[in-house]
């Protein structure tokens, strides 16, 4: 699918973008794209668009502000859309954008329903447009380095994958109610990271979880603390631990242990200074939350999406990756509820080849 090209005065082409959803993540992507010489935001839509959003868009030179996402999708000069609206809107928006011939970037998860996600991915494939999923952690500088060492064979064959992901504080009750649960909302990033780091598909999961932080999670059939162990098709084994509350900050660590060594990535800190006194060793807490921790990753993921459109190359994280992560999340939920290991084949998915590099 081609793209209308516009010269920006420096001999470089631009992709014209429409953003659907002007919440926190939509505005983050917008501000990042404003600094990308290959992108031009031509419109933004939000159900609650009004004077405040219009003022925000005016400062950034975004000419169209609307409450109607269909208006944005159908604009002839829109080459691609970023879907940053609520999860329940993702599938119909993907399908509509695909029919309109627009390339698509969609935040995770695509949906809470695997068959709906598969239908959206099929629509994209049939339309011949690109679909990139917002698994931003793949673009983190630390995790990319670990992945590179695995791919280069530096640590040999992967044997153990360990992923820790802990939020500094729980989300509000109104978010918990619609989040889809810890596996679909929070750990889904780690399921994707497990596949990314191991270079293999997950074969079996065993999940345990409990409510140890706030009773409100139980009220919505969710847990706030969970561990999932995994078996991979390449023989490796893995473990992911999640908590909705780490009092010391945003805790994001990975390790891949292999036959020739290990590769690890620790937390990012505001600085690397360490103070040593008779009272002990002191250093700053990790960066507080995902906006700080993954700031550059958000920049990189949209930049590579634009690059894939301009060069007509595969996106970095595609529909196959979305389906696989959701399958693992559903298997983990089934495992926790039934108290047994669950094979991924018990959560059937449409067979599709990944186009990602």
* pLDDT tens over the chain, length 357 residues: 445 444 433 335 899 999 999 999 999 999 999 999 999 999 999 999 999 999 999 999 999 999 999 999 999 999 999 999 999 999 999 999 999 999 999 999 999 999 999 999 999 999 999 999 999 999 999 999 999 999 999 999 999 999 999 999 999 999 999 999 999 999 999 999 999 999 999 999 999 999 999 999 999 999 999 999 999 999 999 999 999 999 988 899 999 999 999 999 988 777 667 777 788 787 777 766 666 668 899 999 999 999 999 999 999 999 999 999 999 999 999 999 999 999 999 997 544 445 555
Residue among 190, 163, 28 nearest 109 (CA)? 190
Q: What is the model's pTM? A: 0.90
State whether residue 313 is helix, strand or coil.
Answer: coil
Are the CB atoms for 305 and 132 separated by under 8 Å? yes
CA dihedral over 304, 253, 188, 47, signed as positive or negative: negative
Are the CB atoms for 347 and 332 separated by under 8 Å? no
Q: How far apart are CA 150 and CA 309, in angstroms?
A: 28
Are the CB atoms for 80 and 173 separated by under 8 Å? no
Residue 211 to residues 11, 97, 240, 356, Cα–Cα distance (Å): 56, 40, 17, 37
Are the CB atoms for 55 and 62 separated by under 8 Å? no
Q: Examine residue 19 and say whether the peptide bond preceding it is cis (omega within 30 degrees of 0).
A: no
| 18 beta partners | 43, 81
How many alpha carbons lie under 13 Å from residue 62 in its C-beta half-sphere?
28
Task: Sketch out the chain's domains with CATH numbers.
Answer: 15-129 (3.40.50.720), 138-290+319-346 (3.30.360.10)
Q: How far apart are CA 203 and CA 208, in angstroms?
A: 17
Residue among 87, 125, 118, 88 nearest 104 (CA)? 125
């Amino acid at each position: 699918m081609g793209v209308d090209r516009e010269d920006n005065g420096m001999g470089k082409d631009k992709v014209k973008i429409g953003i659907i959803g002007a919440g926190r993540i939509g505005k983050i992507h917008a501000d990042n794209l404003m600094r990308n010489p290959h992108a031009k935001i031509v419109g933004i839509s939000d159900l609650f668009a009004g004077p405040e959003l219009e003022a925000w868009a005016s400062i950034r030179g975004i000419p169209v502000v609307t409450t109607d996402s269909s208006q944005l999708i159908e604009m002839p000069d829109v080459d691609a859309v970023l879907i940053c609206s609520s999860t329940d809107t993702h599938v119909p928006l993907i399908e509509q954008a695909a029919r309109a011939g627009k390339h698509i970037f969609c935040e995770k998860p695509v949906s809470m329903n695997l068959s709906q996600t598969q239908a959206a991915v099929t629509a994209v494939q049939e339309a011949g447009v690109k679909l990139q999923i917002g698994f931003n952690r793949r673009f983190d500088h630390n995790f990319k380095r670990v992945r590179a060492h695995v791919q280069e064979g530096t640590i040999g064959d992967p044997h153990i994958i360990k992923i820790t992901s802990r939020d500094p504080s729980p989300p509000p009750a109104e978010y918990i109610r619609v989040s889809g649960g810890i596996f679909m909302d929070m750990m889904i990033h780690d399921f994707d990271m497990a596949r990314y780091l191991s270079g293999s598909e997950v074969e079996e999961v065993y999940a345990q979880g409990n409510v140890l932080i706030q009773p409100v999670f139980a009220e919505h059939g969710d847990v706030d603390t969970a561990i999932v162990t995994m078996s991979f098709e390449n023989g490796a084994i893995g473990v992911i631990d999640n908590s909705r509350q780490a009092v010391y900050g945003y805790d994001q660590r990975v390790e891949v242990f292999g036959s020739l060594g290990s590769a690890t990535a620790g937390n990012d800190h505001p600085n690397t200074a360490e103070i040593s006194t008779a009272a002990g060793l002191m250093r700053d807490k990790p960066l507080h939350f995902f906006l700080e921790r993954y700031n550059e990753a958000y920049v990189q993921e949209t930049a590579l999406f634009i690059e894939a459109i301009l060069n007509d190359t595969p996106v970095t994280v595609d529909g196959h990756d979305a389906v696989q992560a959701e399958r693992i999340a559903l298997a983990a939920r089934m495992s926790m509820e039934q108290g047994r290991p669950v094979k991924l084949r018990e959560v059937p998915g449409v067979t599709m080849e990944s186009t990602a590099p």
